[in-house]
Chain A
Amino acid sequence: DIVMTQSPDSLAVSLGERATINCKASQSLLYSSNNKNYLAWYQQNPGQPPQLLIYWASTRESGVPDRFSGSGSETDFTLTISSLQAEDVAVYYCQQYYSTPITFGQGTRLEIK
């Protein structure tokens, strides 16, 4: 099984500042035949289901604000929120869909400082 490890577990950032969440996979998520990284990011607000933010490691889902960006390749990935807004307070999960069992990181709780 591919183990996904996020850091940090929780993060407090001031409004308007940058927030960075890291995700490390126990093996490469880069599929050589199509040169795509099978890595997604989700946002979960309290009492709500998760919502897709980023897929293929760096492609923003339709409707997601451009302050959210994803980067990285193979085993190391980053979700960046360029200028934190109050509505970004949530738990963020990375996920690998390279192979089954599909696995998620443990989540990172983002709060306002």
Chain B
Amino acid sequence: QVQLVESGGGVVHPGMSLRLSCEASGIPFNSYGMHWVRQAPGKGLEWVAAIWHDESKKYYADFVRGRFTISRDNSRNTLYLQMSSLRGADSAIYYCVGAFGDYFDCWGQGTMVTVSS
């Protein structure tokens, strides 16, 4: 059974940092490209960042470049998102997503990040 389980969300003040984790099971993690996608309350889906299966390439949305860092540990089947200089506009559910064939074929349940003073 495919499972992606995110953790690390919470309530933080503007300017603070947070690290999200996503542990994968039931998939050949080291063969999957991995992504983070976020969704603000009541809003649509917004792609945040991607990392290739072997960590050779990383891509970021313009609105997080320089503030967020995506990484992975294939030995631990785990994906990370280090977020710094957080803003109110970063408040959202953050989904961990696996992509075996470029499209997004498995999604975690998400972890909520709230940035508020």
Contact = CB atoms under 8 A, between A and B. Distances in A.
Interface string A28-72: 000000000010101010000111100110000100000000000
Contacts, number: 52
A95 B104 contact: yes
Contact of B35 (A49, A56, A102): A102
A101 B61 contact: yes
Interface string B88-115: 0000000100010111110111100000
Interface of B: 35, 44-47, 50, 59, 61-62, 95, 99, 101-105, 107-110
24 contacts: A42-B104, A44-B45, A49-B107, A49-B109, A50-B95, A50-B107, A55-B105, A56-B103, A61-B105, A93-B44, A95-B45, A95-B103, A95-B104, A97-B99, A100-B47, A100-B59, A101-B59, A102-B47, A103-B47, A104-B44, A104-B45, A105-B44, A106-B44, A107-B45
